[in-house]
Chain A
Amino acid sequence: MTGINVAFGGVLALTDVSLTVEPGQVHGLIGPNGAGKTTLFNVACGLVRPTSGRIVWRDRELTRLRPSQLTSLGIARTLQGVGLFAGMTVLENVMVGAHRHAKAGFLSALLALPMSDKDEKRLRERAMQALTELGAESYAGRYPGSLPYPVQKRVALARALVAEPDLLLLDEPASGLSEDEMHELGELIRSVVGRMSVLLVEHHMDLVMRVCDRITVLDSGKQIAAGTPAEVQADPAVTEAYLGDAVDVEADAAELTHTDGGRHHG
């Protein structure tokens, strides 16, 4: 796996942006509101087709990437909201995420043949495992609507993890979480890195600085900085983008932490 390289030409939402997620690393994508973070993210999952540029994944160029291909490519993503299926139990929600690992063919599954039965059990066990990993196993039989928001977010994360992706795309995973929960999330992200790479779009600076190996900073659709957290923090262009002036990044970061990251228009 060589990671993704996204490049744009043109003057629309993103101008000539490149980023590569290295194997086994957490790559942060940050920038002020409207910088194009979500647009870039959506390009990576095929929701937005770039006007020009190349997406390369595992040495292969993806020319007509569609969202439905993601899982078979080994890529999973979470959504900015939680996007859980309201009428299905937590366990069933996660089982949908593990869908691609089921072995039985379409017909035998439809006819509920014995082979598919065993498959079904495995699927259930895997989903349960993923929930246990996130400490949400006790909610397995509940419906998402009845659960507090942070738990829903954990379930959504379990649903993405259960697919055992090689690349996990996290869209604002910390929005709506408390300080403690955000801390747990950070540890969780670090713990999965052994198994997969992570691309993280996030508003909360301290989380990004803590968990990311590399960071790309966008502003007005342009890439203004890239590097390790320390390099990015020291970059005057980043400070300027956030406050339009030379101000201490720490203070800036602290302020951003307190603003609600739930709404933003990439």
Chain B
Amino acid sequence: MQQFVNVTLTGLTQGLIYAAFALALVLIWRSTRIVNFAQGSMAAATTFIALALIQAGYSYWLALVVSLASGFVLGAIIERVIIRPVEGGNELNAVIVALGLFVALQALIAIIFGSSFQSFPAPFGLEGFQIGGNRVAFTPNSLYIFGAVVVTMLLLVALFRFTRVGLAMRASAFSQEVSRLLGVKVGGMLTLGWGLAAVVGSLSGLLIAGGGFVYPAYMDSLIVFGFVAAIIGGLDSPIGAIVGGLILGLALSYISGYAPRGSALVTISALVILMVVLLVRPGGLFSSTTARRA
């Protein structure tokens, strides 16, 4: 029983991070119909900026704020300068550009920050809470991860549902041409969308780094998991991305906790789940037929 609780809690915590990363992919997919393979490298870059600040003696929180802000700027600049020229063209062009960016950013990180493993501090304790004399695998840091991701998601929902800018962003995502005719500054909305997505991506990068090691390619596994989570939910649906992240987090945690030699099976399991979802429900669990047609 105790193991079940622990495995579940670990799965949920990991799942939330996957969900955040998947959400970043979905945000970009919805606005520009591009799968942003560079998301991981972008998040890694901002995490290294945070690490540099922390190593220079600044607090974790300042580093967090600077890192998220630089994520926004990085996302916005990348959209304006690199993605804009291939937007609306051949899909393959955008994919290749995103992949190139992924490799280039990773190399850039290695050049600037070095390619060795460096430890990244967690803002809260990594020792599990004491419940009824048992220590569970839920730490103060897990609580922080929960809070951070949930608050971010609520803020995004509020932005999209209740603000004029959110309305304009959704309109741009559905039809750029029509939105333009209605006076929406579509270009600005796309830039904003990429910026916001990069903030969410950066957050997931920081959260997964907390209490572990970072190196230029440390986001690589998260890219795979985040991508699978986004596909499970159907790339179009933010809610789907969150549920997909949680499902994947739990599934992978159970596999690694219960299956013999489970931890070695984690990555391959993610890909098996991806294949099954694509075979059974290619649009993802949360795709509605209208969304597909739109």
Name the CB-closest residue of A to B187: A68
**When chains A and B are docked, how far (Å) is the Cα of A264 from the Cα of B152?**
48
Q: Which residue of A lies closest to B186 (CB)?
A: A68
Evaluate whether A67 and B181 lie within 8 angstroms (CB atoms) in the complex, with A86-B291, A87-B294 already known.
yes
Known: A85-B171, A87-B174, A112-B159. A119 touches B164 (CB 8 A): yes
Chain A residues whose C-beta falls within 8 Å of the C-beta of B164 in the assembled complex: 95, 99, 102, 104, 109, 116, 119-120, 123
Residues of A within 8 A of B293 (CB): 86
The reply on B163 being an interface residue by CB < 8 A is yes
Contacts of A143 in B (CB 8 A): 290
Residue in A85, A88, A112 whose CB lies within 8 Å of B162 = A112
Given contacts A87-B174, A110-B159, A110-B163, are A96 and B182 in contact (CB under 8 A)?
Answer: yes
Query: Chain A contacts of B183 at CB under 8 A?
Result: 68, 70-72, 99-100, 163
The answer to whether the Cβ of A159 comes within 8 Å of any Cβ in the partner chain is: yes
**Which A177-223 residues sit within 8 Å CB-CB of chain B?**
none
- Shortest beta-carbon distance from B116 to chain A in Å: 39
Contact B170 A85 (CB under 8 A): yes
Residue of B nearest to A88 (CB): B170
Hey, what's the 0/1 contact readout for B161-176 against A, CB within 8 Å counting as 1? 0111101101100110
B182 proximity list for chain A (CB < 8 A): 71, 76, 96-97, 99, 159, 163
A67 to B182, CA, bound (A): 8
Q: Does B184 contact A (CB under 8 A)?
A: yes
Nearest CB of B to A39, in Å: 16
A85 with B175, Cβ < 8 A, contacts A109-B163, A109-B165, A145-B290 known: yes
Known contacts A70-B183, A71-B182, A79-B178, A96 near B168 by CB under 8 Å: yes
Please indicate the chain B residues that have their CB under 8 angstroms from the CB of A95 in the complex. Answer: 164, 167
Contacts of B135 in A (CB 8 A): none
Q: State how many angstroms separate the Cβ of B114 from the closest Cβ of chain A.
A: 36
Asked if A77 and B163 sit within 8 Å, CB to CB, the answer is no
Are A96 and B290 in touch, CB under 8 angstroms? no
Rounded to whole angstroms, the CA-CA distance of A65 and B165 in the bound complex is 24
A45 within 8 Å of B (CB atoms): yes
Give the contacts of B150-201 with A (CB-CB under 8 A).
Answer: 158-159, 162-165, 167-168, 170-171, 174-175, 177-186, 188, 192
Task: Specify which chain B residues have a CB less than 8 angstroms from the CB of A145 in the assembled complex.
Answer: 290
Task: Give CA–CA (A86, B180) in the complex, Å.
Answer: 16
Chain B residues whose C-beta falls within 8 Å of the C-beta of A119 in the assembled complex: 164
* 8 Å CB contact of B165 from A87, A88, A92, A106: A106
A141 located at the interface, meaning its Cβ lies under 8 Å from any Cβ of chain B in the complex:
no
Residue pair A99, B290 in contact (C-beta under 8 Å):
no
Which B residues lie within 8 Å of A83 (CB)?
175, 177-178
Q: Would A86 and B290 be within 8 Å (CB), given that A96-B168, A99-B164, A110-B163 are in contact?
A: yes
Q: How far is the CB of B86 from chain A (nearest CB, A)?
A: 21
**Is A110's CB under 8 angstroms from B180's CB?**
no
Binary flags per residue of B258-291, CB closer than 8 Å to A gives 1, else 0: 0000000000000000000000000000000011
- CB atoms of B170 and A87 under 8 A apart: yes
Q: Which residue of B has the minimal Cβ distance to A78?
A: B181
CB neighbours (8 Å) of A77 from chain B are 181
Contact in complex: A45, B181 (CB < 8 Å):
yes
Q: Nearest chain A CB to B201's CB is how many angstroms away?
A: 19
Q: Is the CB of B163 within 8 A of A86?
A: no
Nearest-CB distance from A130 to chain B (Å)?
13
Shortest distance between the CB of A196 and any CB in chain B (Å):
16
Return the chain B residue nearest A67 by Cβ.
B180
Minimal Cβ-Cβ distance residue in A for B288: A87
Which has the most chain B C-beta neighbours within 10 Å: A72, A85, A109, A163?
A85
Nearest B residue (CB) for A119: B164
What residues on B are CB-neighbors of A123 within 8 Å? Answer: 164
Residues of B within 8 A of A100 (CB): 183
Given A68-B183, A70-B183, A87-B291, verify A110-B171 contact (CB < 8 Å). no
Q: Which residue of B lies closest to A81 (CB)?
A: B178
User: Of A76, A88, A96, which is in contact with the most chain B CB atoms at under 10 Å from its CB?
Assistant: A96
| Complex-state Cα separation, A199 to B30, whole angstroms | 34
Give chain B residues whose Cβ lies under 8 Å from the Cβ of A85.
Answer: 170-171, 174-175, 178
What 1/0 flags go to B41-82 for Cβ under 8 Å of A? 000000000000000000000000000000000000000000
Nearest 8 A-B pairs (CB), nearest first? A71-B183, A85-B174, A86-B294, A96-B171, A100-B183, A83-B178, A67-B180, A68-B180
18 further A-B contacts with Cβ under 8 Å, apart from A85-B178, A99-B168, A100-B183, are A67-B180, A68-B184, A68-B185, A71-B181, A76-B182, A79-B181, A83-B175, A85-B171, A86-B174, A96-B168, A96-B171, A96-B179, A96-B182, A97-B182, A99-B164, A109-B165, A110-B165, A143-B290
A sample of 28 cross-chain residue pairs with beta-carbon separation below 8 angstroms, ordered by A number, consists of A68-B183, A68-B184, A70-B183, A72-B183, A76-B182, A79-B178, A79-B181, A83-B175, A83-B178, A85-B170, A85-B175, A85-B178, A86-B290, A87-B170, A95-B164, A95-B167, A96-B168, A97-B182, A99-B168, A99-B182, A104-B164, A106-B165, A116-B164, A120-B162, A120-B164, A123-B164, A145-B290, A163-B182
